[in-house]
Structure 1
Amino acid sequence: MWTRRLEMTTHESMHKMKLIQSLSLFFLTHFHVSSEDTPTVGSRNIPRLVLSKDVIRGTFVYQIYQKHTVLFHHEDSGEIYVGGTDFVFKLDLDRYQITQNISLEATREEPCQRDPCENVITVIQKFGDILFVCGTNGHRPHCWTVASSSANVTGHQDGTGISPFTYTQNSLSLTVEGDLYAAASLDTDGSSLQFRRKSGRRANMWMYDSWVSEPTFVSASWVKRKDDPAKEKIYIFFREKNSDHNPEADPWISRVARVCKTDEGGSKRFFQNTWTSFLKARLVCGFPDESLYFNRLQDVYVQHAENWRDTRVYALFTSSWNATAVCVYSMETIEGIFNNSTFKGYDKAVPEPRPGTCVRNSRMLPLATVSVVRDHPEMSDWVHSVHSTSPFYVSNNNYTKIIVDRVQAADQNMYNVLLLATDSGKIHKILESGSEPFIISQTEISSNSTIQSMKLDSKKKKLVLSFAEKIYVVDLLSCNEYNKSCADCVLARDPYCSWTTSGCAPTVPEGIQNVIDGKISVCSALTSDHNQVNRTRRNAASPEDEASLTQLTVPKGVPFYLSCPIDSYHAVYTWRHGDQSSPCLQMQSNCLLLLPDKRRQTVGEYECVSEERDYVNVVKRYHVTEQGDQRHSGNRGKASAVAAQTLWITFGLSLCLFSN
């Protein structure tokens, strides 16, 4: 009944529809038709695939929306702790269950001076079997200790300098061998923000006031040296106000700083309980030859290595022109700047020991050495990325968080995969292969908010994402999205997945894979799968290789669209009809071909062909006839349904045009 009514309406108002169709044709011809979330086909600087929600393995919904959440993951366990407003709970990533729920409502001896009187958790750290939790506590920061095996709160202390007064204020924390390092404001207005060693076995330490200017601390990391623990350092990544007030200068400068783990401050007469080893240097990310830089550090992931020199720093930057970039730094290069650069503004002989050197007893350092640290902590030389002349990756996406996983592929080599979160809740999976990024996929997470916190369990290959309303657990080993064929699996260049006798599955040593360049010639190893061998031969597909032929009868005198699905946004799609070729007109995840109302020599066979690297594939095949051709009269019902669908597509495109 619905189809018949539509056919009647179509006949009665055909002259109106022709106007709409003409406008739609103009729209398709002159404008790219795709949604904001859909990549444009034929480019390499976009995600190859848009993955479905099948990669989501667990979902945990909060009882109320959370203003702020923090995630803590211990590398040696499958435990992950989530902190929100008045609570901390533990997730089991194997069973996707909450196994521990800790209530931490604001505990005040006097009424809150501000409303609401809530305890937003901002810090979760671990000391052995003890969980250390801090929160805003109604604008009077407080910390609690909780036994990991129970939900019992066993102790509490003042949290000023560890937790901010409100969740919107900048803060960070780090535990190192029983010592707590933290950056949080000492005042309710967010001022007096500096990086300190707050508690633990070693002495509490402070920064000198003039070392930083209105800083925003991004990350802190302890880099171990198994061969020389006495020289281990804590690295701090932050951005601060630029002292250059030139209108053309960016207001922010990104920095890396370091302090020695063994630093106990200076003597009682000079620099007592103040860092004697603090040095800072500028992080450069951009195009030095054009003096074009990304100066606003947003997030950092430190990828540790057995040899500290091989440790890498992946830093995410934004710019004043609304672009983002990823730059990669070598810890050996960073240390080289701190050990060899001159001190900015200092032109005298460098005293011994060199300022910033880790020593057994910092309280015995000579005044000359500590004075250089106090007055000239900045290095003259800048820290350049390993790709020096340009960032590793530049994008117009507004990325907010970065994590890097190290994955062993079927060839037994290790590959780095960048997991970047956008401000609209998407996750981009990017392969680092040499100096070129390869954007494997985009995972769209359904949410009404941005990602507040993100953690990776590398052993389980699961990514945990916390939003205001819920938590998602994403399975990085979900390979079903590439399961159409060996070629599809190999072209993905996803080191997590390889082609096996069971299809595209989590990588095993005997799996078929080509992470380096994605060439599908490796599929010829599947001697039992002759279809895959034949598909590597350009323009030589056998009948059984081709897509099944769809018989289609279309109404006379009505424009019509043929459609085929986009299997890869890196491929180039072409419509072939006899000796003629037409480009793809993209509408979201489909390629369209318009058959005009005046069709001369347009009946016959049409093929939608994709070309990607060394793979040519016929995605869709149609045999088109017009109504009145009795040889295909049995397909009229199907043709009417497709015609109705086409008219609705046309109508939708027209609405898009008019709405703009």
Structure 2
Amino acid sequence: MMGLLYICLGLAAGFLPAFGVKDTPTLGSKNTPRFLSKEILRAGLRYEVNQIHSVFSYHEDSDELFVGGTDFVLKLDVNDCRIIEKYYLNTTGRQQCPEGLCENVITVIETFQDSLFVCGTNGNKPQCWKLFPSVKNQSHEIVESYEGTGISPFVYTQNSLSLTVDGDLYAAAPLNFDGSSLQFRRKAGGRTNCWMYDNWVLEPTFISASWVKRKDDPENEKIYLFFWEKNSDHSPEADPWISRVARICKVDEGGSKRFFQNMWTSFLKARLVCGFPEESLYFNRLQDIYVMHAEDWHDTRVYALFTSSWNSTAVCIYSIEMIEQIFENSTFRGYKEEIPIPRPGTCVKNSRSLPPSTISVVKDHPEMTDWVHSLHYTAPFYISGNNYTKIAVDQVQAADQQTYNVLLLATDSGKIHKVLEAGSQPFIISETQLSNNSTVQAMKLDSKKKKLIVGFSEKISTVDLQRCEEYNSSCADCVLARDPYCAWTASGCTPTTRGGIQNIVDGGISVCNEAVNEQMPLKRYKREEISARHLRLVHSIPGGLPFYMSCPIDSYHAVYTWEHEGHSSPCLQMLSNCLHFIPSMEKQNYGNYICISREKNYTKVVKEYQLMEQVIPVENENRKTVDPSFSQNKASGLVPKMMWITLQFAIVLGSLSVRIII
């Protein structure tokens, strides 16, 4: 019966929900997205065969997106995801590889030495290839291949990462088939190959590596490495895993032939803290990193996504300047003697000339005593019950010429959340559903084009970050969105232009023209104004029968009520609609009903019903049948009595206050 009820209500109300019942945000909560996109976006490319793994390579100054899948690399036009070329990289020696593990899953795509450098698992025998432009510069051709161990993992599920810096290739991938001997190395390029000392990390999982440029001081440029590792402290109260940030000097060539040859001489690491230090409660496992580079390296920010053992995720924000202060000023954990000169970890022109006393501290005591805390220190910037897996951060210039940061967070259920960073409190602007079938495999931001490119197992989707038409109902709706990408102009809610109307800081609608009707309090609405601006549904309903009304939810931060003859009733939320049920139509139930939305100081009428009594002909009274033409509107809310009894029972159990469960 509940299944039949759901179908009946859904069809009658015109529901086309794109969101699962369990994922529907709760009304009035600031911890949920304010706005849900009305439909699943379908722009992009759908794979012929679902991919178990994918990797992207993309630079904003190019219109070409390279996508690595299983046995192939695609070159796409980033504007429309149209395939320009497809390159097949099939596994060599398939007859020798274990059954079921013969695929060549592409794990690395980097621009390296004026070519596209691609590596894959190659049937458990990692291999790399260089794709060079052809003579006519219209396609690529493979002319060289290399042994790929230490660059690509043996199996795509093994941990790995890659980075190119000034013509050098850095990578982290296991040296052994069982996933062991995993460390960060410089593998190719103009500088000496270098690697880590085995005792520096314990069962690491590398998340990201980033080169931070210093235009005025290139010899002091560092590569920052973000990872988590097993805690060497096995006491019961100790955290089992610890998140880290490490750094290496770009000019590091390793030690002398007698001591630490081909080993990093500048490697230092520190604990990366995200949580509540005063309560000693931390999010311990680093999930993803996005580095927002700045002209002045001091202002470069690191946005880190963490997970916890209590099924929550958090975002903490750090500055490179704060990280450098720890590396430059902290003592070395476990080292009690006088710190040698040059200080361990210092970038020098010739690392082979460093004295053994300096290198010995790096060798035996690379960890900083002090921890790296976030900018907000006492708590994460953002905490959520959503299981976020990827993060990107865009910088947007608003109509007031101020810049605001917008976090783009991917959930494990195929959604993208836009979260505004304006002050110390996050504001969840919107949620966009991209896939109902899989989690995000790869994600790239194009800040210049204001697009987000997202890869799933079944497809690649492009998200237009300037979907301002979604807030186009009025100036107030546009301003309340607090979306830096959008501003109210004479053309409606449009991509931000100078002089447009916005209030990013708090969403106050006083910036809108006072003549806009939606700004007036409810008591100032005149009946004729409401009727002219909002659709009034007129229904003729026989007495004694149940009836329901619905109005759409435009903002999940608003409070919705039903007003009738001076009385107010809360809405019953069902997916993206607010419902009001009348179990049995009596004299006092007839009249006008208005669905009201209230958010901040903004009140608007969303929908209006006028219910009139209809007398059932005598010959139909015993059977309680109703002429199908009794309603003046096709969206009739008549509900059979048996369904209403079942519905009432569900309400008593409390299951319908937020959702209906079939």
Considering the TM-score relative to the shorter chain, is it more than 0.5? yes
1: CA distance, partners of 2:145 / 2:317: 40
Q: What is the rounded CA distance, in whole Å, between the counterparts of 2:41 and 2:395 in structure 1?
A: 19
Is 1:65 the counterpart of 2:54 in the alignment? no
> Which residues in structure 2 correspond to 1:405-416 (within 5 Å)?
405-416=394-405
Question: CA separation in 2, counterparts of 1:647 and 1:428?
Answer: 41
Amino acid paired to 1:642: S
Determine the C-alpha separation between the residues in 2 that align with 1:460 and 1:128.
Answer: 27
> Which position in structure 2 is the counterpart of 1:139?
124
2:409 to 392, 408, 420: 420
| Aligned equivalent of 1:567 | 554
Task: Kindly state the Cα deviation for residue 626 of structure 1 after the two structures are TM-superposed.
Answer: 2.4
Q: Are residues 1:78 and 2:72 paired?
A: no
Residue of structure 2 equivalent to 1:556: 543
Post-superposition CA distance 1:612-658 (Å, at most 9, x none): 1121111111222222299xx99723378614467798599579889
Cα distance between partner residues in 2 of 1:505 and 1:262: 47
Which runs of structure 2 are paired with 1:520-559 in the superposition (5 Å)?
520-524=509-513, 530=515, 532=516, 535-537=519-521, 539-542=523-526, 543-545=528-530, 547-559=534-546
Alignment of 1:476-555 (within 5 A): 476-524=465-513, 530=515, 532=516, 535-537=519-521, 539-542=523-526, 543-545=528-530, 547-555=534-542
215-224 or 576-585, which deviates more: 576-585
Identify the residue that residue 464 of structure 1 maps to in structure 2: 453
Once the two structures are TM-superposed, the CA of residue 522 in structure 1 deviates from its matched residue by 1.5
Among residues 101, 108, 113, which one is paired with 1:116 in the alignment? 101
Q: 1:9 — aligned with what?
A: none
Shift of 1:578: 2.2
Partner Cα separation in structure 1 for residue 497 and residue 68 of structure 2: 36
Deviation string for 1:505-529 (max 9, x for gaps)? 111112221111111121217xxxx
Contact 2:548 2:638 in 1 (8 A): no
How many residue pairs match? The answer is: 626
Q: Does 1:44 align with 2:38?
A: no
CA contact (8 A) 2:44 2:462 kept: yes
What does the per-residue CA deviation read over 1:480-499, in whole Å, with 9 as the maximum and x for residues that have no partner? 21111111111111111111
Shift of 1:316: 0.4
Pick from 630, 638, 643: which aligns with 2:632? 638
Q: Structure 1: 5+ residue runs without aligned partners?
A: 1-15, 25-32
Superposed CA offset, 1:5-27 (max 9, x none): xxxxxxxxxxx99xx99xx9xxx
One-letter amino acid of the structure 1 residue matched with residue 460 of structure 2: I
Match of 1:209 among 193, 198, 213: 198
Distance 1:400 1:407 in 2: 23
> How far has the Cα of 1:417 moved from its partner?
0.5
Cα RMSD of the aligned pairs, angstroms, is 2.6
1:611 aligns with 2:598: yes
Output the amino acid matched with 1:439.
I
Cα shift at 1:582: 1.1
Q: 2:319 is matched by which residue type in structure 1?
A: S
1:38–1:646 distance in 2 versus 1, CA, 3 Å: farther
Question: What is the alpha-carbon distance in structure 2 between the residues aligned to residue 652 and residue 109 of structure 1?
Answer: 61
Q: How does 1:337-348 map to 2 (within 5 A)?
A: 337-348=326-337
Q: Decide whether the 8 Å contact of 1:425 with 1:451 is kept in 2.
A: yes
Could you say which residue in structure 2 is the equivalent of 1:30?
none
CA distance in 2, matches of 1:320, 1:648: 46
Residues 559 and 596 in structure 1, CA contact (< 8 A), matched pair in contact too: yes
User: In the aligned structure 2, how far is the partner of 1:659 from the partner of 1:567?
Assistant: 23
Distance 1:409 1:54, change over 3 A: farther
Is the 2:228–2:243 contact (alpha carbons within 8 Å) kept by the matching residues of 1?
yes
In the superposition, relative to structure 1, how do residues 167 and 261 fare at CA in structure 2: closer, same or farther (>3 Å)? Answer: same
Amino acid in structure 1 at the alignment position of 2:127: H
**2:25 maps to amino acid:** P
**Alignment partner, residue 168 of structure 1:** 157
TM-score calculated relative to the size of structure 2: 0.90
Code of the residue aligned with 2:566 in structure 1: it is D
Q: Match for 2:216: what amino acid? A: D
Paired letter, 1:35: V
SS at match of 2:124: coil
Give secondary structure in 2 for the equivalent of 1:339: helix
TM-score normalised over the length of structure 1: 0.90
| In structure 2, distance between residues paired with 1:406 and 1:468 | 29
Contact 2:64 2:76 in 1 (8 A): yes
Residues 109, 391 of structure 1: alpha-carbon distance in 2 compared, 3 angstrom cutoff: closer
Change (3 A) 1:561 1:211: same
Aligned to 1:524, the other structure's residue is in SS state coil
The 5 A counterparts of 1:261-300 are 261-300=250-289
Cα 1:651–1:312 change in 2 (3 A) is farther
Q: Which moved further from structure 2: 34-43 or 534-543?
A: 534-543
- How much does 1:78 deviate? 2.3
| Structure 1 counterpart SS, 2:178 | coil
Q: Is the 8 A contact 1:536 1:614 kept in 2?
A: no
> Is contact 1:551-1:635 (8 Å) kept?
no
CA distance in structure 2 between the aligned counterparts of 1:600 and 1:536, rounded to whole angstroms? 32
**What percentage of aligned pairs have identical amino acids?**
62
Q: In the alignment, residue 76 of structure 2 is paired with which amino acid?
A: L
Q: CA deviation at 1:579?
A: 2.3
Letter matched to residue 594 of structure 2: E
Q: Does 1:361 align with 2:350?
A: yes
